Amino acid sequence: MEAPYGSWPSPISGEVVARDPGWPYSGLVADHGALYWIEARSHEDGRDVVVADGVDAIPAGASARTRVHEYGGGAYTVHAGTVYFCDDADQRVYATRDGVPVPLTPAPPHKHGVRYADLQVTPDGRTLICVRERDGDPEHINDLVAFPTDGSAPPVVLAEGHDFYSSPRISPDGSRLAWLVWDHPRMPWEGTELHVAELKEGLSLFKKRLVAGGADEAIVQPAWSPDGVLHYSSDRTGWWNLYRESGTVVTALEAEVGGPLWVFGESYYDFLDDGRIVLTYFSAGADHLAVVERDGTLRDIALDCTRIVDLTADGRRALFVGASPTRSLRVYALDVDDGGLETLSPDADELVPEPYVSVPRALEFPTTGGKTAHAIFYPPHHPEYEGPPDERPPLVVRIHGGPTAHVSSILRPEIQFFTSRGIAVVDVNYGGSTGYGREYRDRLRGTWGIVDTDDAVNCARHLAQSGEVDGARMTITGGSAGGWTVLCALTQYPDVFACGADYYGVAELTAFVDDTHKFESRYFDYLIGPFDEAAWTERSPLTHADKIRVPVIVLQGDEDKVVPPAQSEVIVAALERNGIDHEYIVFSGEQHGFRKADSLRRAAEAELAFYGRVLGFDVHR
């Protein structure tokens, strides 16, 4: 059936988008034959629930979420069947005893004033070691602490003096501790240091020494093999690869066995009982699973998953969260020898019916300076509708946050929400994105707002020039750092996009750096350069807001501490002064990234309605 692009009726409604928590499963932990994970529940006010083999392992109302670095991660661990978790309500650490949460850390002096993350329990079960973050002036104080798992004493400091700590990992015999540190102005993907020390009774360290890393080497995921050998991933060759403590190379790929340390607890490899290592690496726009055999050779395992995260093992099987372009995220167990794949998470019906799925393709396109950039393109698709032969579809250019991050080709209802209505979508892995090596990642060093903007514009132009989309009906959308790129594109290239959607984006740098949290307070040294008021003001989209000529919709959470509401308010005020058509929607109770079902629904419906009004197509909800 023929109908104008953008107007096709679709079963993928705003309600469907709201039922998709974005990343429903994370944080896999294997313990005594049971597998635990975090389940994100947008329909329960965005609660994060620890489940054991699919059964809730924390009480109703509790939410296992930490606010350390604001992005969190590593909010729980399990030892001998006891779940230890940070409750989002007060950020204290609790232990579940007979199904009842018992607090182990003192009540903070004020709400969320002390936070904990990256929880680890010593092998004897007596001590818990973790990262602690406390409110301070002029900035928060981060350190490593330890405290007894029976809650009988307050935390004691194991390591302090650096700006940031991460990844405390205890050797199998409990005698040693490894951890990561870094200091301002570095971000962890610029350079970290891996330290190790002897651990005495779980409560003190001695004989501390540096193992690897530095200002120009980013270390991620230290981990101990069952026989007590420390491993880690380093980007010293320009690609994150796996090494032993001695410096021995385990993998030598032009691919990424690792990623940016935005959240705590991410895992890219683990050990099998027989000495082999199972790992995941990112290459050519997709994740791959492989095994390092006992002779050191790397054996790829064929899977149709294009995204593999939170990889762990139970001694003989690989356990991970995986997804593909046609199947949403699931928790899987894989026998690495016979290839047997078992789904462990609930086998719920797909939110996107298979006939409506737009299958993406990896895209390379020319960009500024004769370079090549990357994207993932989703053409419009509907089993019953097609567009008129003389019409090309509208295009939504999606810009990921971070900006040190990347997107993969997985099934996302928020994308299919548009493609099933006849709107093309392209996810841009602009220069600065991870997954393509350090050189590609460092393209954004000092050029944020330039390289990312050029790549977004050149991607859109490439698709228009190739006849895939209507060059007169292109829009750009993004959140956080992606919102910054949206605003930069609308000010620097005012004639390319017909409108834009800014989700909690950065608009003005000098005010932002005073308002944002500690973790990213010096990020701009990398992205822009050391503080220079004139240079930062010139780079800020707000300075050039008078060049915006097209309608803009702005969406913002009122509790966002990463990009505070003031950033959206100043750009909205500028649009108002300049007489630019705009909409501004504030979401109550939302932080950085929307989590509540009603917010997700409202945001999707508002963005679609805005595009329909501006681009001239009838919207079918």
Q: What is the pLDDT of residues 532-582, one digit of tens each?
A: 999 999 999 999 999 999 999 999 999 888 888 999 999 999 999 999 999
| pTM of the complete model | 0.91
User: What angle, 0 to 180 degrees and rounded to 10, lies between the N-to-C axes of helices 451-465 and 481-492?
Assistant: 70
Ordered DSSP codes for 76-141: EEEETTEEEEEBTTT--EEEEETTEEEE-SPPPSSTT-EEEEEEEE-TTSSEEEEEEEE--SSS-E
* Model confidence at 621: pLDDT above 70: no
Domain closes at, from 161, 186, 205: 161
pLDDT for the residue numbered 153:
96
The domain of 556 spans 354-615
* Model confidence at 132: pLDDT above 80: yes
pLDDT for the residue numbered 21:
58
* Model confidence at 23: pLDDT above 80: no
Q: Are residues 420 and 568 in the same domain?
A: yes
In this structure, what CATH number is given to the domain that contains residue 415? Answer: 3.40.50.1820
Domain closes at, from 235, 260, 283: 235
pLDDT for the residue numbered 98:
82
| Domain presence at residue 607 | yes
Q: Are residues 141 and 173 in the same domain?
A: no
Q: What is the pLDDT of residues 339-384, one digit of tens each?
A: 999 999 987 778 899 999 999 999 999 999 999 999 999 999 999 9
CA-to-CA distance for 517 and 60, rounded, in angstroms? 30
CA-to-CA distance for 133 and 144, rounded, in angstroms? 9
Q: Are residues 219 and 70 in the same domain?
A: no
pLDDT for the residue numbered 272:
97
Q: What is the pLDDT of residues 451-505, one digit of tens each?
A: 999 999 999 999 999 999 999 999 999 999 999 999 999 999 999 999 999 999 9
Q: Which of 168-182, 189-203, 272-286, 590-604 has the lowest mean pLDDT?
A: 590-604
Q: Are residues 73 and 199 in the same domain?
A: no
Q: Are residues 387 and 414 in the same domain?
A: yes
Q: Are residues 108 and 223 in the same domain?
A: no
* Model confidence at 516: pLDDT above 90: no
DSSP label of 424? E
In this structure, what CATH number is given to the domain that contains residue 71? Answer: 2.120.10.30
Which own/partner contact pairs does 573-580 have at CB distance under 8 Å and 24+ positions apart?
Answer: 574/542, 574/545, 574/546, 574/548, 575/545, 575/548, 578/545, 578/546, 578/548, 580/548, 580/549, 580/550, 580/551, 580/552
Q: Are residues 175 and 231 in the same domain?
A: yes
| Domain presence at residue 286 | no
| Domain presence at residue 246 | no
Q: Are residues 397 and 435 in the same domain?
A: yes
Q: Are residues 75 and 194 in the same domain?
A: no
Q: Are residues 436 and 485 in the same domain?
A: yes
* Model confidence at 20: pLDDT above 80: no
The first and second tokens of residue 30, run together, are 């294997």
- Choose among 463, 477, 498, 470: nearest CA to 393: 470
Distances in Å between the Cα of 61 and the Cα atoms of 19, 49, 91, 180, 581 are 19, 9, 14, 33, 42
| Domain presence at residue 424 | yes
The total domain count for the chain is 3
| Domain presence at residue 249 | no
- The overall average pLDDT reported for the chain is 94
| Domain presence at residue 428 | yes
Domain closes at, from 113, 139, 161: 161
Per-residue b/e over 398-412, b at no fewer than 16 CB within 10 Å?
bbbbbbbbbbbbbbb
Query: Angle 186-74-482 (CA atoms, 0-180°, nearest 5)?
Result: 55
Distances in Å between the Cα of 532 and the Cα atoms of 49, 289, 539 are 44, 45, 11
Q: Are residues 168 and 151 in the same domain?
A: no
The first and second tokens of residue 167, run together, are 């990844």
| Domain presence at residue 525 | yes
| Domain presence at residue 332 | no
pLDDT for the residue numbered 597:
87
Q: Are residues 412 and 440 in the same domain?
A: yes
Q: What is the pLDDT of residues 70-110, one digit of tens each?
A: 889 999 999 999 999 999 999 999 999 888 899 999 999 99
